[in-house]
Amino acid sequence: FAVEGNFSSTFARRRYRRRKNLRMVPRSLGGLSVRRRPRGRLSAVLRELQVGVVGAGNMGRGVAYSLARAGHEVWQFDLDKKSLGASVAQHASIRKGASVKDCCREVVAVTVSNEGAERQVFLGKGGVFEHCGEGSLVCNLGTTSVAWARELHGAAASAAKKAFFLDAPVSGGPEGAATASLTVMCGGSAEAFAKAKPLLEAISKKHELLGGAGAGAAAKLVNQQLVAANAHAAGEALALAFALGCDLQKLTKLIETSWGHSTMFARVSATARPVAEKTGTFTALLDATRSVSGAPLRNFVKDVALVSEAASAAGVSSTCLAPAKQVLRDCKTRNLLDVDWAAVSALATSRPSDLGSLERSSPPKILDVFAQDYRKEIKRRAAQRATVPIIDDDPTGTQTVNDVNVLSYPWRDADLDAEFAEVSAGNEGNRNNCFFVLANTRALPEDAAVDRAKTIGKALKKKMMMTGGKSSSSEDEETTKEETEKKKTTTKKQLRCVASRSDSTLRGHFPAEVDALAEGLGWEDPLIVVAPFFFEGGRLTANDVHYVADLKTGDLTPAAETEFAKDAAFGYASSNLVDWVKEKVGDSKKIHVATITLSDLRRGGPDAVVGKLLDVAKGESSKRKIVVANALDSNDAACLALGLLRAEEQLFDDQDEQKAVSGIVLRCAASLVAARCAIKKRPLLTGTDLFKKEEEEEEGTPRKKQQQKEQQKHGLVVVGSYVGKTTKQLDALFGVDLKKLKKIELSADLVTMAQGKRDAEIQRAVEEVDAGFREGAVVVLYTSRDVVRNHDDRDQQTSSLVLGDLVNDAVCRVVAEAFERPAAKNAFVVAKGGITANDVAVKALGVKRAKVLGQVVPGVPAWRLGDESKLPGAPYVVFPGNVGTDDDLANVVQLVATAGSSSSSGEEEKKSELLRGTFPGGGGDTGKRSSCGATTPTPVAFRSDHEDPERAKELLLEARRRGRAVGAFNLYNLEGAVAVRRAVDYTGLPAIVQFHPASMAFGGTALIAACQDVASTAVGAPMLVALDHADETEVIERAIHRGVDYVMADGSSRTYEDNVAWTARVVEHAKLHDVAVEAELGRLAGEEDGLAVDVKDAKMTDPNVVADFVRRTNVDALAVTIGNVHGPYAQEHPTLDWKRLDDIRRQVPDDLPLVLHGASGLPVATLHRAIRAGVCKFNVNTEVRAAARLAIQHASSQNKDLLDIMKDNVDAMTPVVTNKIRHFAPGLYPHHGAD
């Protein structure tokens, strides 16, 4: 490589400088090992090229360096000036470009992050194909769809100055780019590939021309499929090896020569093994690889989606990607997309952090259609058996029931007689197969709790014997068939199952209370089922670990790590329920503990539950028999409940068989009670519901409207619970906008002191409460927030309970004396805290019997007090101390205080606002909240169980709470569904795909199945499937039975009364199948799918009838007409009737989503105004359909193949849908598409 003569030649000096640079290559670059290029290859690459590199990220930086090191002149450009500066500084032969134009040299290599950026670089104004020279070579090194690669080939050929083009995606990561060891997969012409040889030699160790246009892109998708699947498998394999005690270093070397070897295993092992060996866990990988990985997980979100789309289009399975997709969704939710694939080892060993990851790591959910069948069978079987007494250790166990009676302890004999008399009458009076007894044992020391539980058990046994629940001990051999059947019926009515309802956060007297109850019943050898799950409160059990979920964020905390586990009386150390049982029992050798797993429930069904229960029941008699049950949603609970009923029949109904156990005791929270007793959910209570007279409820007649509006109701809010959640809720209550709110603090210190100070503090509080009632105020009586402890020589549990009893007794004295005075007449009561609620009801108000009306918010029941109490017929809200969001106590008090008042603006039928954290699966169950990351709801995973249609409704309400709306896109084929899924994955925002009945008339329900399949693979956010504008019952029923999430029942062409009656019937049927229903008031002008409505026939929604319509139909969403139309608008800026929309919003419940059809063509400012007015769903059809038609026409004119036409169709619709979704999220995209 000698140069003759002196170095005056610029060329010679430049070549010498490069040669010198070659000899001075650093051995490391950014911490990466750099391999020197073999001398024998220099001659092949030293033909000087002028190369432009667009992109200076991880890959672009390494590519530019390798090119410069090989002797080429490099011009580089990136919008990120910092990244560009760092790349240029690597080598003297890399020059900074001011624009893409500066990079349009002999060869152009593009390496940017996604298709959107590539589209701008190649085809945008000032892009590559505008400035590249005739015959130049353009290479795209990024991962793309095959369709996009082919489109770029076409663009290069049709550019003003025709260029050669290669789709040349690379594999090997940033380290491969920096060390010139990439693998390059090329698609294009042989001539283009030959021109690219110097470039390819400079950056790769292996490159191959695999075919024509798009072949390289196709090969890269295959590569990414293998990378994702192998990386995930490698991460989990390492985690398993570590958990089983393998020597990871030796194992890695051994695997290199085995069939299990892969590049990704070697790479993952090299990253993960040192961390595990140093720290003893993989968890540190989450921090060690964050933001420094050359191949972070976020790079694979797009790639995995592209692979799935390609496989689906080709009719090829890609199920191997399912685990990788789960990892990506999980990491998106946990904000971990910037970690390396090696961190999968940590994810495989780390506990789930939120609801989404917990559900995704669990077996597939029980299908709703199966769960509905379970519930029907439960109802039939439960009606044939004895009513289940629910012995409640505080009154909050009524959290999931309605139309059920509650008896205080000690009860009146007549009240208990009435409960069992109803049972004897065939359950006609006791429709829900259960009643509650307020034992309130959690407020007692253990010895007192045991005595009370035993007494209750004896009383129940005696009462059942008196009512015929006990069968005869002998039978005449000549028993007739009729007598035998009667005996069987009597046997079924024997009391064989009771529930010991206790705290969903594991506080209470276990196992002492359960043992005492069984002893009183005469059950020497009971089967105990521990099931503390309570979905409405976010209490879930999986893998035997009991979790407390934050309803607002979806975050999970093992129960033992919460404040509840530190309770002075009932603290514990174990979140694993098997360990918790052993911790509480003490001697684990004397118990047999088995578990009913999620796999048993979801894969084995009720038969698997029966098998587990019978195995334990028939086990060693000398051991206490305990079964721990897992459950994440109400479908799981239904499966468990049916298994319990079947097992009960097998264990006890055969008179001749020796009984393996004497009875079943359910130590459970509220959710299993509702499932076992087949209690049907009812909507959340309204203010009007609380104040209805009992005869109105029974007759179903509405209360007549009062001639004069009432003022704010006066009442008492009693707060005794001292947990942190209650304190936050109390602070929120003090900030509400009520006309009269009076705060009274009762000093816990003073009421636990000497009698004189105690009496004085109580009397002060009584006078202040009475004064507040006389002023018509809502009085908040709360105990001081500090926990009072007595540091004497008694055990801490007894001391804590005794002090708590003193405080509760003081609260009860205040309430009892205040309600003896005239001003307390017609007051309502909200009691916060389980023990507080029991003592106030029983001791202060004299309640002996009450009726559970339902819930005001999930997990918060309301009762109607009996006539014997000081407040006959009054509403009494039982608000548990450990339930609800920070605002829920305030919301409940406002709901009760303003029911029927002028402050409610005539909205007497307004429903209680749903908890912000209710899971999309419905009724507070898991869900879908999912979710889905920092800016979108959790997919329920959120989600999620569908016992009612709240999943779809909650998706809309979540959007509204975030100041957004959800787009619902009408489509006609698979391509439309794929376009919407792409947009969802691009934006990370949810969407609905919907179709008109005309589509079903053409292809039946096949399109529904296709949409469901596509929606199930969305990575970015939830996708729902809906039927739009259906006005025939038969069509709606077909769609419902095929599994849609949502139907738009269009009765707008009917008369008002016909619309109400028809829509109500649709809603009733739909909710049996867990499907949400949208209805329409008013008719839109315009044409959609062949159905035309003239302007003269169109009419706007009347605000004066919406409240009546919503109340009578119970719809989940309402579409309104305020000047919007189907199809194109006649003027550029259509005028909508905003006053009408605002009036409508004021007339409907806060938790009713409003919908606007005809969003195509509406200006962005108009959309945002509608969102501010409460619209949270927009229907879009015309714009998407127009884009599809144009794409088909254009592709057909070019004689493209049918598959290419389909792909062009998707490509045309995707940006339209994406832009619309962004328009509907003004908080995220405030200026997107602004007018």
Catalytic machinery residues: 1028
Q: Are 530 and 577 in contact (CB under 8 A)?
A: yes
The closest of 96, 95, 159 to 122, measured between CA atoms, is: 159
CB atoms within 10 A of CB 643: 25
* Rounded-to-integer distance, Cα 92 and Cα 69, Å: 9
Q: Are 529 and 609 in contact (CB under 8 A)?
A: no
Tokens of 288: 């060690």
Tokens of 622: 């000398």
Which helix (H) or strand (E) element contains residue 209?
A: strand 204-209
β-bridge pairing 388-392 and 204-209: unpaired
Q: Indicate the SS3 state at residue 551.
A: coil
Side chain identity at residue 130, one-letter code: E
Half-sphere exposure of 500 (CA within 13 A, CB side): 33
The secondary structure of 170-189, three-state, reads EECHHHHHHCCCEEEEEECC
* Rounded-to-integer distance, Cα 536 and Cα 670, Å: 9
Q: Residue 591: is it exposed, middle or buried by C-beta count within 10 angstroms (0-12/13-18/19+)? A: middle
Cis peptide before 26 (omega within 30 of 0): no
Q: Rg (Cα) of the chain, in Å, rounded?
A: 35
Tokens of 177: 């780019």
Q: Indicate the SS3 state at residue 90.
A: coil
* Rounded-to-integer distance, Cα 560 and Cα 570, Å: 12
Tokens of 915: 């908890």
- Name residue, tokens 């000081």: 870
Q: Are 548 and 559 in contact (CB under 8 A)?
A: yes
- Name residue, tokens 């025709």: 162
Tokens of 372: 């509905």
Tokens of 949: 């249609």
Half-sphere exposure of 226 (CA within 13 A, CB side): 12
Q: Indicate the SS3 state at residue 1198.
A: coil
The closest of 391, 392, 505, 394 to 837, measured between CA atoms, is: 394
Cβ-based neighbours of 385, under 8 Å, separated by 6 or more: 433, 492, 493, 496, 497, 645, 648
Cis peptide before 389 (omega within 30 of 0): no
Cβ-based neighbours of 837, under 8 Å, separated by 6 or more: 394, 395, 396, 831, 878, 879
CB atoms within 10 A of CB 98: 9
Question: How far is C-alpha 1141 from the geometric centre of its chain's CA atoms?
Answer: 31
Between CA 607 and CA 597, with CA 618 as vertex, the angle to 5 degrees is 40
Between CA 536 and CA 542, with CA 541 as vertex, the angle to 5 degrees is 135
* Rounded-to-integer distance, Cα 1007 and Cα 1000, Å: 7
- Name residue, tokens 């001639």: 707
694 DSSP 8-state letter: H
Cβ-based neighbours of 384, under 8 Å, separated by 6 or more: 489, 492
Q: Indicate the SS3 state at residue 1034.
A: helix
Q: Are 537 and 885 in contact (CB under 8 A)?
A: no
Give 327-331 contacts, CB < 8 A, sequence gap 24+: 327/232, 327/297, 328/297, 328/300, 328/301, 328/304, 328/1019, 329/356, 329/360, 329/932, 329/939, 329/941, 329/1019, 330/356, 330/357, 330/360, 331/297
